[in-house]
Every structure is written in C-alpha cells, then in structure tokens.
Amino acid sequence: MLLLLIPVYISSCKTANLFVKKERKKGEIRNISDFKLIKNTEQNDLVFNTLFFKKFQTEVNINDKTRSFKGNLFIRKDNSIIVSVLPLMGIELFRIKFVPDSIYILDRTKKKITVAGYDYLWDKFFIDIDFNAVQNILLDQFFCYPASDLDKNCIKKFKHYIRRDQYVLQSMKNGRYSRKSKKNNFKDLIYQEYTIAPDIFKIISCYINDFGSNSRFKIDYQNFIELQQYVFPSVFSIKGERAGSLFNMNIEFRSIEIDGESKISFRHSDKYEIEHLK
C-alpha cells in the first residue's frame, strides 16, 4: 500500500459550521437502533497505520495555574503514542511516550526518564484510562470506562435517545438513571455518555461521571475538518474535576499527516537517569 501524505491546515479547510446543520424542523432527525448508531459512527473512524499531528498548541490549567506550550504528536496505531512538548521559544523540554503497559516521560532539563503506570493519569488528570482509551480519545472514537472494565465491547450495551437534535448514547437508560437520582443511589456508579452529530456521525462530546470517586471528565470535539475521505476534529477541549480539584486543557491541531514519512522517536542518551514510579 502506498503511503499517502495528507497535510491539513485548519485555516484553509472546511470546519464544523459546514458539516453540522444548525437548524432543524421538529422530528427531522430519524431515530435509528442503538446498533445502527454505533455502527454508523464506527464506520467513520480513521483508518491508518501512523498519524502525525504537527505543531499543535495547548493551554493547560490545573487549579487556576495556566501553562501554554506547543508540540508534535505521533501515533503508531495500537503500538505507541509519542508527544514532543515545546515551550513557546521552541526548545523541547519533554518527550512523552505511551505504550500499552507504561508511560515514559523524558525530561531534557533534568536528564531524567520517569517510568509510570496509567494510574499516573488518574493522579494528574482525574481519569482512569489505559493506552487504548488515550489513543481513542485522540482519534475521536469510542472507549470503555474505566480502564479496569474488562468488557471491551461495553459500548454495544449503551442505549440512546435524541436530545436537542443530536444523538445521545449513554451507559444506562434514562429511566434507570432517573430512579437512582430520585433515591440518591449513586454509590459506585459510573455514568458515561457520548453526544453524536447526526449529519456526520462523529462524536462531538464524551462525558463521564464517576460517582464513587466524586470525579467528572468531559471531552468536546470541535472545528471538524476534511481529512482525506474523513471528517476529523481539529480542536479538543478536555475538562476534569475531582473533589474540588480542577483540570482544563485545550488543544488545537494545525496540520495532520496520515501514513506519512514524518515521525517522532524516543531515543535518548545512556546518561539519562531512569526512575520508576511505584
């Protein structure tokens, strides 16, 4: 298969305003089965071997402390995700590698590599996810929550309804959720919800409420662009909250290559100190 280099620049592409219809007549959205909704959405997933997100810009706010940086991100499907983090002056400070069983954080200034498990993301960003979930969040695809849920086909059990001219796919029926709400019986309940645009069958938001740990997490996908034969978000907004601690991240991608020649490695000097977090 020939490799295709597809650079996509946000400023010159169609955005969500052209893909998502703004006004509808009542009853215009045709209701479909849960199976059909899931299938239609999954059929729009990107098919690729590698993805290179070039020159993204990010602003991160943790408990009212804000940092801005830019970087590059490389995905080798189901194998690894590597992020190069650069401050505004353009000199790389960190390189982060996600693989199925570990996270590696390379600190250029301290000449140090920290190796952690995925519970590191729970400690920092209030979400219990694994490699597959990280990958699918970046790809605007379904994932099962929490990471400890061994049922990788959990999405097939979700039910949907129509809300404000959009499909809402949720981990429990409205009736059951309402009954628990009235009884305030949310102990150990995890609620997961996807909002799907009917015009393009793409996920436009994912919301998770983990009542047992008093944590919430929401991802919004915006400014969809044409990427080869696909439609893909160029802006991600991620918000997390746990017991009063807040996390907020906004990411804007400027250019995306599908199966191109660009890549990021994780090479480093043998002089780097390696620390394993317990």
User: What pLDDT sits at residue 70?
Assistant: 93
Which residue range(s) make up the domain with 228? 29-260
* CATH code assigned at 121: 2.50.20.10
Work out how many domains the chain is built from and give that number. Answer: 1
124, part of any domain: yes
Within a domain: 197: yes
How much is the average pLDDT of 109-131? 90
Q: Is residue 274 part of a domain?
A: no
**What's the average model confidence in pLDDT over 42-70?**
93
Report the DSSP beta bridge partners of residue 255: 54
123 lies in a domain? yes
Mean pLDDT on 183-198: 82
In a domain, 14, yes or no: no
Residue 234 predicted with pLDDT over 70: yes
Residue 9 lies in a domain: no
Instruction: Tell me, yes or no, whether 152 lies in a domain.
Output: yes
Q: What is the mean pLDDT of residues 91-117?
A: 95
Is the pLDDT at 267 greater than 90? The verdict is no
263: pLDDT strictly greater than 80: yes
Is 13's pLDDT higher than 90?
Answer: no
Q: Which pLDDT score is estimated for 14?
A: 43
Query: Residue 133: what residue type?
Result: A
Tens-digit pLDDT profile for residues 69-84: 999 999 999 999 999 9
pLDDT attached to residue 3: 27
**What is the C-alpha separation between 116 and 276, in angstroms, rounded?**
6
Strand partners, 217: 208, 240
Contact status, residue 46 vs residue 258, Cβ threshold 8 Å: yes
Flag whether 39 is in a domain.
Answer: yes
Facing residues of 160 across strands? Answer: 169
* Stronger pLDDT, 136 or 176, i.e. the higher one: 136
pTM here is 0.86
Burial 206-234 (b: 16+ CB within 10 A, else e): bbbbbeeeebbbebbbebbbebeebbbbb
Mean pLDDT of 115-142: 91
